Chains A and B, each alone.
Chain A
Amino acid sequence: MDPEHLAQLEAALGQVTGFIYPNEVELHWSILIVIYPYLTGLVAGAFILASLEKVFKVKALQPTYRLALLTALAFLIVAPMPLQAHLGHPERAFEIFLTPNSASAMAMFGFVYAWYLMVVLLMEIWFDYRADLVRWRQNDKGVMKLVRWLISLGSRDVSPAAVAFDKKAVQFITIVGIPSAFLLHGYVGFIFGSVKANPWWSSVLMPIVFLFSAIVSGISMVLLIYYVTTLLRRKELDMSCLDALASFLFYALIIDLSLEALDFIHRLYESEESIEILEQLIFGKLFLSLTIVQILLGTIVPIVFLAAARFSELPNEMKRMIYFVAAVLVQVGIFSTRWNVVIGGQLFSKSLRGLTAYKLEFGGQEGLLVAIGLLILPFLILALLLKILPPWEDAKTDSSELSEAMTEAEPSEASSLS
């Protein structure tokens, strides 16, 4: 055995309390598996937020529609990376598509992911941006022109009929997309909820709880990104949009908290043989991350903040600050929710008589550095996407006006304009 690994095992053994089986001392699912549902939840949540504007016609959310779609895409691209880093051999990942195994819930996730990425998200973004891409291309030069030509698949048609078709297509894909987004994150909950040997995970409520926490995390992430990008662009924040985001975040938080409470009360009332070890877990190893961070700081405090700001007559500057703080707290809370599920579920023995501890590595394939890198990567991808596909209202109108001017002008004038 590797001496370094032996030293780690010995350090972990010092943390063990009670009776634990030998293969339970070290945790098998590391921080990377915490990041995976966190990222997937953000994708599903951001997409559901985008669909509020399209399907349910919440006009106040118009400024965040495209931003939410791009956020979902940026996080979706990174979502499988923690799994691949955890398993190793990412070059073999495509094999699950070649030999589909319908008996494996994890293998089927590949198809859910591919469906969501290719059929839902990319197509919706493509149809929504297509006409704009064609118009922007006219003023572009060099690499950007080529990139936008490639993304628009060489499309040229910006006739009213084509644009009308795009709108219809977006509408249709969004309607298909909502159950798909539910499927995507419900599925992550399903993977945990279906582990019947683990009383902390095994619950039919798991997919629903995951789904609502996804909606909460997605809305708050889009709120944060909208807030920060608008400030960076030195533009005015749309207060009605922020208010609408805050309202939806508030309602989603209430439902999320209710579901979590329902799950908790249900377990407490059932009082299966696992309840004692779960009690030790909640009030011992997970006290800080569950009771303090997840429930108090990540759920109750944001609910109070949002209610206080949304339904009172505070000045707008004050409201914005409160929304921002609440959204940051929600993100911290959701991350600790994922932590408590993934890490918490492995901290107690199957004997229900002992607890172990998780030692987070700093470097290495499953260490803190990789985790931080994977959390930063979506923002870098998002920054790139914002460059290529600016979601801002002004970018849209300016260039469309310009292109109209160009189509009306003579070719020589058009070239002088650009």
Chain B
Amino acid sequence: MIESLAKPVKALRAWIRGRRAGSRRRRIPTQLIQLGVIFAVVGVGMFLMRQKFVPDTFGDLGHYRAAAVAANAELEPRYAGWQECAMCHPDKVEAKNSSFHRTVSCESCHGPANDHASNPMQLKPELPAGREPCLACHSYLASRPTGFPQIIEERHNPVRACTGCHDAHDPTPPESIQECSACHNTIARSKAVSPHAPLDCEVCHEAPPEHKVQPRAHVPKKPFEREFCGTCHDRRARPPEEIRGVDLSVYEIPRIDLVTHGGTFVCWQCHYQHSPEAR
């Protein structure tokens, strides 16, 4: 076997030698061969790593693993969707869909309910209890839209569950808006969570009774000098309980020296009185 191979190998060697001797082609510089080996190793390494690490379906649909779509589609659905709820609870869904909560899905509060939809008697969905579920949306956060109903938990009927006063399926405020908030609702809602919440609007804005009939013809007054804010916030001002006839004892009123504080600016150039960040 080996002997039979020896002959052609010899012939091949002789042929190569002959070609080398006869060829006038330039030899490839050894440097290039050495570098070529390095680049080949890197290239082959990259190729093998691609084979190993890049998922098969990567790039079929975009810059991601296409099979991920099918894998996600195969997952067991956990949410049923509000249409499914409406089949058995039409009254609740109808009430919700015509209230301020019309854009909130049933399962946002009651949790994923696909299991309940397929086995209504045995598997019951969550019944939200306490204040936490409501506070997820209604606790005060500066970045929520202006006028969005928000509360500061410690100040708004502490401990009581929200559903004691509010119907979650029809969360119309228990008291209808009136007086100033009837028109200035956005400001009223901001003020309600601000340190100025205990003050009536008229403490600062003296409004003639005609304002309610012809609002633009009879405009309420606005404070126009620093001394007005100073009646409460100057360090020489009277103690809180004597101010404006309002019980402010629970609040620590920020005090400043009206003569030196803020130069020639008026207060509302830096502090927005209705905002919870008024200070």
Contact = CB atoms under 8 A, between A and B. Distances in A.
Given A22-B142, A155-B31, A162-B29, 18 more contacts: A22-B143, A94-B49, A98-B50, A99-B58, A99-B59, A127-B31, A153-B35, A153-B37, A153-B38, A154-B34, A155-B30, A155-B34, A156-B30, A157-B29, A157-B31, A161-B29, A165-B31, A166-B31
Interface in B34-54: 34-35, 37-38, 42, 46, 49-50, 53-54
Contact of B30 (A94, A123, A162): A162
15 contacts: A95-B53, A98-B46, A98-B50, A98-B53, A99-B54, A103-B63, A126-B35, A127-B31, A130-B31, A153-B37, A156-B30, A157-B29, A157-B30, A165-B29, A169-B31
Interface string A127-171: 100100000000000000000000001111100011001100100
Q: Across the A-B interface, give the 5 residue pairs with the lowest CB-CB distance, nearest first.
A: A153-B34, A22-B143, A165-B29, A157-B30, A101-B63
A264 interface: no
Contacts of B35: 123, 126, 153
A9 to B, nearest CB: 11
Q: Is the interface of A mostly helix, strand, loop or mixed?
A: helix
Interface in B140-155: 142-143
A353 to B, nearest CB: 15
A97 interface: yes
B239 to A, nearest CB: 29
Interface residues of B, number: 18
A166 B37 CA distance: 17
Contacts, number: 41
B113 to A, nearest CB: 30
Contacts of A155: 30-31, 34
Contacts of A98: 46, 49-50, 53-54
A99 B29 contact: no
B46 A97 contact: yes
A98 B38 CA distance: 19
A278 to B, nearest CB: 23
A169 B34 CA distance: 14
Nearest to A103: B63
Contacts of B49: 94, 98
Interface residues of A, number: 23
A166 B34 CA distance: 13
Interface of B: 29-31, 34-35, 37-38, 42, 46, 49-50, 53-54, 58-59, 63, 142-143
A156 B142 CA distance: 72
Of A118, A153, A154, the most chain B CB neighbours within 10 A belong to A153
A178 B26 CA distance: 29
Contacts of A94: 49
Contacts of B50: 98
A150 to B, nearest CB: 11
Contacts of A169: 31
Nearest to B58: A99
A281 B31 CA distance: 55
B39 to A, nearest CB: 8
Nearest to A107: B63
A263 B63 CA distance: 37
Contacts of A103: 63
A94 B54 CA distance: 12
A118 B39 CA distance: 9
Contacts of B34: 153-155
A22 B145 CA distance: 12
B230 to A, nearest CB: 24
Nearest to B59: A99
A97 B58 CA distance: 14
A153 B30 CA distance: 11
